[in-house]
């Protein structure tokens, strides 16, 4: 196809648009709209500086204090990772040999070791060390005086030597993706959005911790 282009006349320069007519050998005519304002000088609008884009949504901090609900220790099947040092601490706490601790309470997944879970009649998967304890007589008396029922607590049976994964809850990647993700997790964990306030710096340190934190989240 041979195309003949008819350029716009000088009177069109600077116009917002112009019609260019292209003729084909069959004398078919297409009309194209060409924009010429690209040749006109532009004025850039400078916007005022906004807040830094690298600030996470939790830059003002988050609150958490463990209430020993046990809800973070149960749910769908998962993994509770422990490293070599944590296995030794667990064995010492249980007063068992390392070999017996590994055999009774852990399993290997690939090259890693996780604490075993047990399936409940409700179809949930509890951490092997999730333990229910009866309320004390003092707690029952206080509850009766306030007109409320005091239920059994579900607590960690190895709380002093609980793994790093447990020590950094709820400041995990999945919970920190957005406020919606945080609030969704808080529906099952009554300790979230209450109690001790953690700064952004503390949250980030817990989220990336490789060693047991010296001042991590604890129960009331």
pLDDT of residue 176 exceeding 80: yes
What percentage of residues in the chain have a pLDDT greater than 90? 59
What pLDDT sits at residue 22? 37
Q: What is the pLDDT of residue 136?
A: 85
CB contact set of 75 (below 8 Å; sequence gap of 6+): 124, 125, 188
Inter-residue long-range contacts of 199-202, CB under 8 Å, 24+ positions, other chains counted: 199/61, 200/56, 200/58, 200/59, 200/60, 200/61, 202/61
Q: Are strands 106-109 and 112-115 parallel, antiparallel or unpaired?
A: antiparallel
More confident residue, 87 or 2: 87
- Angle at the Cα of 170 (from 166 to 173), degrees rounded to 5? 100
- Dig out the tokens for 210 from the structure: 């490789």
**Mean pLDDT estimate for the chain:** 81
pLDDT at 130: 95
- Examine the pLDDT at 100 and tell me if it is beyond 70: yes
Reported as a pLDDT band with limits 50, 70 and 90, residue 44 is low
Residue 149 pLDDT grade (very low, low, confident, very high; cuts 50, 70, 90) = confident
Q: Where are the domains of the chain?
A: 4-39, 62-207
In terms of DSSP H, where are the helices of the chain?
A: 84-94, 98-105, 137-145, 164-167, 173-176, 179-186, 200-207
Q: What is the mean pLDDT of residues 39-58?
A: 63
- The 10s digit of each residue's pLDDT in 57-97 is 999 999 999 988 889 999 999 999 999 999 999 999 999 99
- Say whether pTM exceeds 0.85: no
**Which residue has better confidence, 151 or 220?**
151
Dump pLDDT digits (tens) for 12-37. Answer: 444 443 333 334 433 343 333 333 34
pLDDT at 108 (0 to 100): 97
């Amino acid at each position: 196809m041979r195309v003949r282009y008819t350029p716009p006349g000088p009177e069109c320069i600077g116009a917002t648009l112009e019609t260019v007519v292209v003729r084909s050998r069959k004398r078919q005519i297409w009309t194209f709209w060409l924009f010429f304002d690209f040749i006109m000088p532009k004025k850039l609008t400078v916007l005022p500086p906004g807040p830094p884009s690298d600030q996470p949504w939790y830059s003002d901090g988050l609150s958490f204090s463990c209430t020993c609900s046990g809800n973070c220790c149960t749910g769908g099947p998962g993994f509770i990772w422990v490293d070599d040092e944590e296995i030794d601490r667990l064995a010492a706490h249980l007063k068992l040999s390392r070999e017996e601790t590994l055999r009774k309470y852990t399993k290997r997944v690939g090259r890693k070791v996780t604490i075993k879970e047990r399936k409940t009649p409700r179809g949930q998967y509890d951490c092997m060390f999730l333990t229910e304890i009866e309320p004390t007589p003092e707690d029952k008396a206080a509850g009766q005086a306030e007109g409320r029922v005091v239920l059994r607590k579900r607590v960690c049976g190895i709380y002093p030597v609980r793994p790093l994964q447990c020590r950094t809850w709820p400041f995990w990647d999945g919970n920190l993706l957005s406020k919606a993700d945080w609030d969704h997790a808080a529906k099952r964990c009554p300790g979230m959005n209450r109690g001790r306030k953690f700064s952004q710096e503390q949250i980030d340190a817990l989220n990336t911790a490789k060693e047991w934190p010296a001042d991590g989240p604890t129960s009331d």
